[in-house]
Structure 1
Amino acid sequence: METSGANSLLRYRKLENFFRASTSENIGAPSKVAAGEEVGRQADVFTDDDGWVSIMISWLKIITCLMTMMVTTIIWALIMVVLIPWPYERVRQGNIYGHVTGRLMMWILGNPVKIEGSEFANERAIYISNHASPIDVCLIMWLIPTGTVGIAKKEIIYYPFFGQLYVLANHLRIDRSNPTAAIRSMSEVARAVVENKLSLVIFPEGTRSKTGRLLAFKKGFVHLALQTRLPIVPMVLTGTQRAWAKGSMHVRASPLAVKYLPPIKTDEWVADKIDDYVKLVHDLYIQHLPESQRPLVAPDPCNKS
């Protein structure tokens, strides 16, 4: 299986080099360059074009993204079927699918992307991110390292194409129907991650923010840190809600930024300080987000679930 994994990674790097060579900075394609604090301000003052031409282009981009995802999903579903006997090779192939599909979709959408802190992007860790837009999923798929497993609600299996591939890729689902089931699911997730030396990616808000402002965090990522002792790497996404708001079908070419913060060590965390740890991480996000994405009122950062 090591040879299979090495070959898969080599194939992915060839694909990545192809897409990088095909990308032009002049048309606003994603690029890994140092992010500046001005990105949030640029997104805030970005001038909307709500004319019919802009809306038609937006619809064309969305349809092209969906068609692209359909094609890559079918290709990787066939790969996953072949790899059914090797469940954690399927995790890594799922990551490669995400790298290729996420990058392609960001190239189609055309938003300029600036990235800071990429030296923290290859840690074995729990990656967390704020969540206010469908674009967040594209960015996360593209930017998480190989060997990272996602966590989603169990109902994701009902999402056409993507949900079925998610399950085939051996990513993890949790039952949020009741607290007891959720705790049991989290324990199973932690055990799988430790035993197979995986990383995790999770949205601690638990849902997309309707306004783009940071919501309270659920405690699940802290419980997972306590059980796995993996460091937490916050990924701060700026401008995505402005580019593609929740519930909207209008994609704007406003600038985006992704900032990896330094890993937060969890080796000495203790169970009776969970609320303190949630507040610590939530406050880091408030510190690094632009004013337009901070909570209007300082909330209790801990969602009780």
Structure 2
Amino acid sequence: MENSGGGALLRNRRLESFLGSNSSQRVEGTVKTYVKNESELRTEKDVYTDDDDDGDDDGWVSSIISWIRIVTCFVSMMVTTFIWALIMVVLIPWPYERIRQGNIYGHVTGRMLMWILGNPIKIEGAEYGKERAIYISNHASPIDIFLIMWLTPTGTVGIAKKEIIWYPLFGQLYVLANHLRIDRSNATAAIESMKEAARAVVKNNLSLIIFPEGTRSKTGRLLPFKKGFVHLALQTRLPIVPMVMTGTHLAWRKGSLHVRPAPLAVKYLPPISTENWKVDKVDDYAKLLHNLYAEHLPETQRPLP
């Protein structure tokens, strides 16, 4: 485990998937992980309600701290991106090594950014984050990308639209890291791009990370799933490992420049085998995974009826 000036970090919303690298052993590392029971976590989250549309106005001291954190994230990310871009250029003849280095970049940068933001994080089921699989995640905040970068295993590639190459520095690093791009200009091109991506994953024994909603939820509520991840599963026969993100939309809202200290949770669900999946049941599988997410998300993040 779908970004130029001062806006590069903020345009992370455009990425629908991204790289990441880590194993469960690293979960116990630098970032402070607060293990709390579910009721405690829900109580803390209730402080930051979805109805608080003006939640960015938390006082000038809070705003200044938030801006410092955002600017620090941006500068830090630009530094690591530049360093790894140089490494990737040297490794151009070795595609797989570039993927590995891209994962290391994701692990270092994602962990660092989460440390800078300072949100308490609860991580469950990290033992399921070790195997080769298709990792999927709900998506409601730039923070989701930081977590994906940090918590998906080595040998994971993301899938993004081909236009990502035009995102200054970050887009070039994405391409140098040998991650996958798809052409979404029309349905035929998109299908062929997905087939090529599946062949690359199988050939190189890679894992995948993808956001099945295809975009970022503004409210944090789960959006309908697109079917691309199901087609990838049918073509690769990799198991699917859902990663359920909660609280990230409260910590950094879509379109906001204010980061709040809301507690976060990442829960890996057990792998779902796709060995016996059938092509004529694509809709059923997409619905199955969507319902599974709805069951594991708090009430405030479940899709409305």
TM-score when normalising by structure 2? 0.86
CA offsets, 1:31-72, max 9 Å, x none? 275763542442232486710111111111011001000000
CA RMSD of aligned residues (A): 1.9
CA contact (8 A) 1:44 1:292 kept: no
C-alpha change, 1:171 and 1:40, in structure 2 (3 Å) is farther
> Could you tell me which residue of structure 1 aligns to residue 33 of structure 2?
31
> Could you tell me which residue of structure 2 aligns to residue 124 of structure 1?
132
Query: Is structure 2 residue 190 aligned with structure 1 residue 188?
Result: no
> Could you tell me which residue of structure 2 aligns to residue 144 of structure 1?
152
CA offsets, 1:77-134, max 9 Å, x none? 1110111001111011100000000000000000011100011010100000000000
**Larger RCO, structures 1/2 (Cα 8 Å, 6+ apart):** 2
CA distance in 2 between partners of 1:186 and 1:224 (Å): 7
C-alpha change, 1:229 and 1:110, in structure 2 (3 Å) is same
Moved more, 221-230 or 37-46: 37-46
Identical amino acids, percent of aligned pairs: 74
C-alpha change, 1:37 and 1:124, in structure 2 (3 Å) is farther
> Could you tell me which residue of structure 2 aligns to residue 258 of structure 1?
266
> Could you tell me which residue of structure 2 aligns to residue 292 of structure 1?
300
CA distance in 1 between partners of 2:259 and 2:207 (Å): 31
State the AA in 2 paired with 1:245: R
Query: Is structure 2 residue 60 aligned with structure 1 residue 52?
Result: yes
CA distance in 1 between partners of 2:42 and 2:202 (Å): 37
CA distance in 2 between partners of 1:39 and 1:269 (Å): 36
CA offsets, 1:172-212, max 9 Å, x none? 01111111000000000000000000000000000000111
Q: Give 1:296 shift.
A: 1.3
Q: Give 1:287 shift.
A: 0.1
State the AA in 2 paired with 1:233: V
Moved more, 191-200 or 40-49: 40-49
CA distance in 2 between partners of 1:194 and 1:138 (Å): 26
Q: Please state whether the residue corresponding to 1:221 is helix, strand or coil.
A: helix
Query: Is structure 2 residue 219 aligned with structure 1 residue 211?
Result: yes
CA contact (8 A) 2:108 2:150 kept: yes
Unpaired runs of 5+ in structure 1? Answer: 1-11, 24-28, 298-305
Moved more, 41-50 or 106-115: 41-50
Unpaired runs of 5+ in structure 2? Answer: 1-21, 50-54
CA distance in 1 between partners of 2:59 and 2:159 (Å): 38
CA distance in 2 between partners of 1:231 and 1:93 (Å): 24
> Could you tell me which residue of structure 2 aligns to residue 133 of structure 1?
141
CA contact (8 A) 2:158 2:180 kept: yes
Which among 102, 106, 109 is matched to residue 94 of structure 1? 102
C-alpha change, 1:33 and 1:268, in structure 2 (3 Å) is same
CA contact (8 A) 2:34 2:120 kept: no
State the AA in 2 paired with 1:44: D
